[in-house]
Structure 1
Amino acid sequence: MSESTRKTGTSLLRWACVPHALVLYLSILSVLFNSCDTVDRSKFRTCDQSGFCKRQRAVKEGYSKYKVDLSNGQVSSDKVTFSVVNPDGGHKYILQIIAYDGVFRVKFNEESPLHPRYEVEHALLPDLKTTSMQVSKGSDSWTLTIGENAVAQVFGDPLRVDLFSQGKKVAVFNGRSTLKFEHLRQKPDVNEEPKEADDSENDVVESSMWEESFGGNTDSKPRGPESIAADIDFPLTQSLYGLPEHADTFMLKDTTNSDPVRLYNLDVFEYELDNVMALYGAIPYVIAHSPEATVGVLWLNAAETWVDVGVSKGGLVDSIVNLVGGSEENKEGRTRWMSESGIIDTFFFMGPKPADVIRQYGKLTGTTPLPQMWAIGSHQCRWNYNDEDDLLSVDANFDKYDIPYDSIWLDIEYTDGKKYFTWDHHKFPHPVEMINNISSKGRKLVTILDPHIKRESGYFLHEDATNQDLYVKDKNGKIYEGWCWPGSSSYLDFFDPKVRQYWASLFALDKFPSTLDTYIWNDMNEPSVFNGPEVTMPKDMMHYGNWEHRDVHNLYGLMHIMSTFEGLLQRSENRLRPFILTRSHYVGAQRYAAVWTGDNKADWGHLKISIPMCLSLSISGMSHCGADIGGFFHNPDAELMLRWYQTAAFQPFMRNHAHIETKRREPWLFGDQITSMIRSVVRKRYALLPYWYTLFYENEKTGMPPMRPLWLQYPDDVNTFPIQDQYLIGKCF
């Protein structure tokens, strides 16, 4: 480390623990810069184009009449179970409430479904420990208590659950009686006249219940309508946060006059700003915060999900005015959650403080393992470095220009014709020697490995997957074929344990020529299918366990990175901490990978939105977050490139990355003055690495993210609640 860098670091660390927050404020972004809309919206559904969303959104308050049989509840030390009936049709359900440390879990399912309904696996930590709760029975309600301060009151007619923290009502489940659970049924005879549906909500049977088309693709929907929905409201506050990933405000906005927030992992490039359309990740989690109490809600469902958010009648602006002015009017925040399939499985994290909610969420879903020090340094990437000479030249120039960095990355062109776990030996004839050259300086190589597999005879991975039955199937039991970077491709079924075991075995150094200094980038794992509906896999494809893709879609990327994580552990015989970067993410992905905000654009708007996007991800568990420096698409000018470096240096994950058709943008290509300023801010990043490393240690132990909204540190200061262009690094900086 140079003398100037050492002095800069000493100065910064001297600032780091002053009593007041040192605000990271980008004054140049104080004016809104909105980029042109470039995403092709016609490829992606709206709620009105989604049969189940349209049906569920039409439900009126007071519509459902589910009744809980309070006279015959089954009680154990950590759980109560009730029978529930809907008088309109008489269909029977089961309601369970389970206790964890400071957490209530509310599960609702059919008593005897025609087919099993999917319950999410792998998102939560294994072998979760429940806790005991006290039960007080009444004629019209039961009261369940965890510890001294967390209380759930279950009402029978109609079904409602009120949740209290320290005596304050903080959340209500089905308070507006909009719970709607489409039970499984036999498909009606095509010759029958249309009639009212036997689903207890008296819907007219629609053709979209049994088959649905969009964008030239038809979803066969063999199990018919099976969507679920419920309202969850927050009496103390409209300050709601979470539901990543979206390029939108940090505080959730009212969706009354727009589409609901959509959670459905999709490959969307040059995405729109200030929009709740689906992106690469889906974490169905909300934190409701007020000075009186904080509560978190996790809607554990991996199917396509839409969430309506309600704030004051005046919308977000009036909400903020009332908040800062201390107005008590229109205080309640409202949400309604709608999923295409599965069951209702909802967790209430009872706080009472924001840090308590963060800790409770981490104890159930896991936290980010402490990264290796190099992984929180600066990363250099583009699609693509052309060959060995190009890569080694870039590496040497970082030394020449005295700019610290820790890893260089290779995108898909390093492979032999987009065949993963291979090298193009014309461009990279000596991969192990090349990696050793880099690692001799203490640096790492990161290579991309996507889940689509080229369908080419003789390619070992395709041959193995075909012969060993490792691919996702279509509804007729044939191997599914889609189109991605290699052309015709099939997709590994990571839900199958033998597939995960096979994938993990491929990281052995005798199978993939590399070294222990090679780490992994898992991209395109929504999964992306260029010719599929909404650029993804059809919902009626079949996975291990006889589950449709519609049931597990948002989990696919998690299963991919989980398999990679295990492979990296096996490769080093559990000696080295894995590093993985993922694009797709769901609840629990933080246990395996860092994340970036996807295919952004070289403009000021996308720079600005990186802050609320990473704040939202950070409070939802995905704490190792960043955005492509300079923007993935198009060419940043020198000022934008500098400002992006200055922003990224103070975000958890720092990587320069660009599209193959952009100009080269290594930091020494923008003139001496810009290079000098980039060098300075990168050195500041490195001067603070011990602080970052300590924060990631705290994150692993407590769940507290390194990048924090102001209200997380100052929970009683209502002025901080709407702020999304300032944040804290830890509690000191």
Structure 2
Amino acid sequence: MAEASQPIVSVIPDDEGKEKFKKSDHVAFYRRQMEGPNFQHRALLDTMVLTEKGARFKLLEPDTQTTLLLSVSPCKNDTVRILIDELQPIKARYRVPDVITEEPHVEQLRVERQSKDSVTLSWSSGRHQVCVWHFPFRLEILCEDKAMVTFNAKGKLWLEALQDPPGATSRGSELQEDHTSVLWKETFRQFVDIQANGPSSIGADLCLHGFSHVYGLPEHADGLQLRDTRDGEPYRLYNLDVFAYDLYSRLGLYGSVPLLVAHKPDRTLGVFWLNASETFVNVHYSPSDHQDGQTPPVKRRRVEPQTDVHWLSESGVIDCVVLLGPSPQQLFTQYAQLTGYQALPPLFALGYHQCRWNYDDEADVKAVDAGFDRHGIPYDVIWLDIEHTDGKRYFTWDSALFPEPAGLQRHLEKKKRKLVVISDPHIKVDPDWLLYCEARDGRHFVKNRQGQIYQGSCWPGESSYLDFSSSDTRAWYSRCFGLDKYKGSTPSLFVWNDMNEPSVFDGPEQTMPKDAVHYGGWEHRELHNLYGFYQHMATVEGLITRSGGLERPFVLSRSFFAGSQRLGAIWTGDNVASWEYLRISIPMLLSLSVAGIVFCGADVGGFVQDPEPELLVRWYQAGALQPFFRGHSAKETKRREPWLFGEEVTAAIRTVIQQRYCLLPYWYTVFHQAHTSGLPPLRPLWVEFPREQSTLTVDNQYMIGGALLACPVTEAGVEEVKVLMPGSGEVWYDVHSAKAYNGGRTLSLPVTLDTVPVFQRGGSVVCRSAGSGSCTAELQQLPLSITVALNSQEAADGELYLDDGHSFSYRDNKAFCLRRFTMLSGRLLCRPASEGGGGGGAFDCVTVVQSVTVLGVKSKPFTVVVHVSGAKDTCAAFEYMETCCMLTVNNLKLRVVMDWEIQIG
């Protein structure tokens, strides 16, 4: 949440007319690089050294006589890491820790050819090559002799060497008044940033050959495809608390993932820029009518498209990983191998969450909980915002409003529901509060540049900020979640990390000053974008430790970085109750998903302002088809529990939430795929249809897994929507009417307020629950309904993943069930999806399949015979609807863990 007093704009001028948030022309290092010279680095090829970690070269910039060290490391998973640092810095430059999960296995390089001008190295049996040119220095990555990426194609390599500040005698000293150069001292509004090491920025450009569509770089309230930045601001990656953010803006929001994904029909490629300081990215598409500011000639020969990407960061080293794909699926796996796979969430976290700033007291929480049961609407989690605490002191409760918090949690737990409470990174400055004293005495707070504990303003008033970059601080914070320390908590309490950009109400750009100092003497500027990631990490570890390492945690974080996917969920922050914000939520979530942050959602209904009933219904319909599904609203808004808008609205919301619960077996399965392969549950159309040009710019519809196509209605008062049905030769089935449509066309679909356009892909199998229950715990006891959608070859296949839904037994004891359903020649088989996935061992799976529906059966069969391994064949009763070619077999009671088959004849 943001300051309650803020108006609903994201750039707030002060009394002098200055903007609250910076644009690129406010940032000195960006101006220096964009206006400065293009340095002409030379690769000293005679310094090449081949090691087991790749190749090393010295780079020389003749004008400044700066010598850099270049390392090139090709890895076995078809990625290439490019690392550039000063050869002999006066002190170590910051290298981002904890994001890359393990160092990749490096391939052995060999020299293919060498001259005085260049050297070509190869690996992977010569399939991949890297060519390094002497002057001007550039590095080209080739796949099967075709150039994919050129590093330093435009000569924008930039690295400002660290310096000792003139006139300063120690780390904490102020610069003398006669040294006020912007290189050492930068002012924005009333804030002064003293740069301890002077200018230290880095930059580099990469040319992506043959690509004219790039994606990623979340988080921005913008379209899925990145725009050419020559017509405005670059994309900024700098985590900030931006209340009611501007739409179609490239300025920074709450989180950052410096991953750019390029796609063309025969190749998907990624560039990961591992840097946690303030970063800008310029994207230039070519050929372009305004390239280099030139007016194009009337006729121009056909030029292969390319995209030039220029990265600029305030500090650190150049650490760039190129992911070579070639398919979207392979790229997602490569990135997950690098930064971690999506954590498998507990099943309840995929249900519906009800939140408000703030539910008033225990009676209010119980009344809302009862309201869901009274109106037959399933939900799993109710949330408490900051007002539940004692004076904004986290890990406490307001004793007047929540006198028996453990009793409240037990009340919810009897219904198998959970409570989530907020825990922000700022700690109220209160010498009479034990937790503050522990943090102060344990040296767990960030310091200012003078070496004193940094203080800033946030919800409690004067606050200090925990230094989560320290492993000792993270360990201490994790212990705070122990049941013995967090009084009033129980094992069914889970956590929400908010304001962790970090938000500082009286700080520059409402965040922490860059010259604040973290553990190890590192300035905040070096690791700003990691701050929320580290709090998220500490909170997750706290909940795991609380359970003795047995239970999966659930932690939602507003701020995030690359690697946050292995910790939990995020959401898109303080949005507004308007149709425009509903529409933008879809490309925002797709951009996050492409960049590995796949457990994501947007506040249903909009955080601020009051949605009209139609907008609220449409937002629930969209939210139910997205990974993290939470209704949330600010305290100034009217109450908006689903039953407060009349029976028509209540019924519409009830229907989509029930449909979400019925679909949870499928959602859980696609999250298992994300956890094991890196494939996002939410996928842009081009991920599933990579060769189709028509899919490349679509960001109002998407795939859920590989089987379902969703196109939420995001316009007011519409009676018809257009849906692209991709895939020439594909068949698509409306999940509500079972009507079949051919792919390779755009469908005009009539809609009412109850219509949610969702289609199942021919060739897929989707498992649903046969009912919704009141929460996910009840859902686990219900039988399954399987929908088989035949493709044009009358075949289909799909998977189902089941485990206990809450523990780590799936990982530690292989206690899970992974089954594959395959339909071919009128025969549906249920078999283990892989060795060890049959549901044996410690997981006692009693789930049964109650019914099977087959779509696309062109003529009524004579018999349906069920065969179960070790049992006698039986004939099953069935229904056939000729109008939609749909066959339904009921009353089956087939155990999922058993091998069985159904023969349609």
Q: What TM-score do you get using the length of structure 2 for normalisation?
A: 0.73
> Do structure 1's residue 40 and structure 2's residue 15 form an aligned pair?
no
Structure 1, 573-582 or 328-337: larger mean CA deviation: 328-337
Q: Is the 8 A contact 2:228 2:285 kept in 1?
A: yes
The equivalent of 2:42 in structure 1 is 67
CA separation in 2, counterparts of 1:722 and 1:105? 29
CA separation in 2, counterparts of 1:493 and 1:56? 31
Change in 2 beyond 3 A, CA 1:410/1:315: farther
CA separation in 1, counterparts of 2:452 and 2:180? 29
CA separation in 2, counterparts of 1:502 and 1:188? 39
CA separation in 2, counterparts of 1:36 and 1:315? 37
The equivalent of 1:644 in structure 2 is 619
- Structure of greater relative contact order (alpha carbons < 8 Å, 6+ residues apart): 1
**TM-align CA RMSD:** 1.7
> Do structure 1's residue 659 and structure 2's residue 622 form an aligned pair?
no
Q: Is the 8 A contact 2:445 2:454 kept in 1?
A: yes
- Any stretches of 5+ residues in structure 1 without a counterpart? 1-34, 191-204, 317-326
Q: 2:188 aligns with which of 194, 206, 214?
A: 214
Change in 2 beyond 3 A, CA 1:86/1:629: same
Q: Is the 8 A contact 1:530 1:536 kept in 2?
A: yes
The equivalent of 1:117 in structure 2 is 93
CA deviation profile, 1:565-615 (whole Å, cap 9, x unmatched): 111110001111111101101010111020100000000010001110000
Give how far 1:312 is off: 4.1
Give how far 1:458 is off: 1.4
The equivalent of 2:405 in structure 1 is 431
Give how far 1:291 is off: 1.2
Give how far 1:83 is off: 1.2
> Do structure 1's residue 181 and structure 2's residue 162 form an aligned pair?
no
CA deviation profile, 1:46-70 (whole Å, cap 9, x unmatched): 111110011112246xx22111111
The equivalent of 1:493 in structure 2 is 467
Structure 1, 618-627 or 159-168: larger mean CA deviation: 159-168
The equivalent of 2:133 in structure 1 is 155
Paired residue type of 1:150: H
SS at the partner of 1:540?
coil
CA separation in 1, counterparts of 2:289 and 2:624? 34
Q: Is the 8 A contact 1:242 1:616 kept in 2?
A: yes
Q: Is the 8 A contact 2:99 2:339 kept in 1?
A: yes
CA deviation profile, 1:197-252 (whole Å, cap 9, x unmatched): xxxxxxxx992111011121100112110101111111111201011000011100
- 1:163-562 superposed matches below 5 A: 163-188=141-166, 207-312=181-286, 329=303, 331-512=305-486, 513-562=488-537
CA deviation profile, 1:707-726 (whole Å, cap 9, x unmatched): 00000011111111111111
Change in 2 beyond 3 A, CA 1:684/1:216: same
SS at the partner of 1:151?
strand
SS at the partner of 1:143?
strand
Paired residue type of 2:22: R
Give how far 1:328 is off: 5.5
Q: Is the 8 A contact 1:78 1:133 kept in 2?
A: no
Q: Is the 8 A contact 1:70 1:141 kept in 2?
A: yes
CA separation in 2, counterparts of 1:328 and 1:652? 43
Q: 1:53 aligns with which of 22, 30, 34?
A: 30
Change in 2 beyond 3 A, CA 1:516/1:547: same
Change in 2 beyond 3 A, CA 1:58/1:619: same
- Any stretches of 5+ residues in structure 2 without a counterpart? 1-6, 14-18, 169-178, 291-300, 709-905
Give how far 1:367 is off: 1.2
Q: Is the 8 A contact 2:516 2:523 kept in 1?
A: yes
CA deviation profile, 1:102-152 (whole Å, cap 9, x unmatched): 110000010111221100001110354334333435122232334253322
Q: What TM-score do you get using the length of structure 1 for normalisation?
A: 0.90
Paired residue type of 1:102: D
Q: Is the 8 A contact 2:24 2:31 kept in 1?
A: yes
The equivalent of 1:618 in structure 2 is 593
SS at the partner of 1:259?
coil
Give how far 1:678 is off: 0.4
The equivalent of 1:7 in structure 2 is none
Structure 1, 242-251 or 95-104: larger mean CA deviation: 95-104
CA deviation profile, 1:290-338 (whole Å, cap 9, x unmatched): 113221000000000001111246589xxxxxxxxxx955611111000
Q: Is the 8 A contact 1:102 1:146 kept in 2?
A: no
The equivalent of 2:730 in structure 1 is none
The equivalent of 2:102 in structure 1 is 126
Give how far 1:694 is off: 0.2
Paired residue type of 2:554: F
CA separation in 2, counterparts of 1:46 and 1:113? 30
Percent identity, aligned pairs only, is 45
Equivalences, count: 673
CA separation in 1, counterparts of 2:601 and 2:561? 16
CA deviation profile, 1:246-304 (whole Å, cap 9, x unmatched): 00111000111211110000000110001101100111110111113221000000000
> Do structure 1's residue 600 and structure 2's residue 578 form an aligned pair?
no
Q: 1:723 aligns with which of 698, 703, 715?
A: 698
More strand by share: 2
CA separation in 2, counterparts of 1:440 and 1:129? 49
Change in 2 beyond 3 A, CA 1:464/1:38: closer
The equivalent of 2:544 in structure 1 is 569
Q: 1:692 aligns with which of 663, 667, 671?
A: 667
Task: Kindly name which structure, 1 or 2, has the bigger radius of gyration based on alpha carbons.
Answer: 2
Q: Is the 8 A contact 2:287 2:303 kept in 1?
A: no
CA separation in 1, counterparts of 2:597 and 2:620? 21
Paired residue type of 1:136: E
Q: Is the 8 A contact 2:11 2:21 kept in 1?
A: no
Paired residue type of 1:122: D
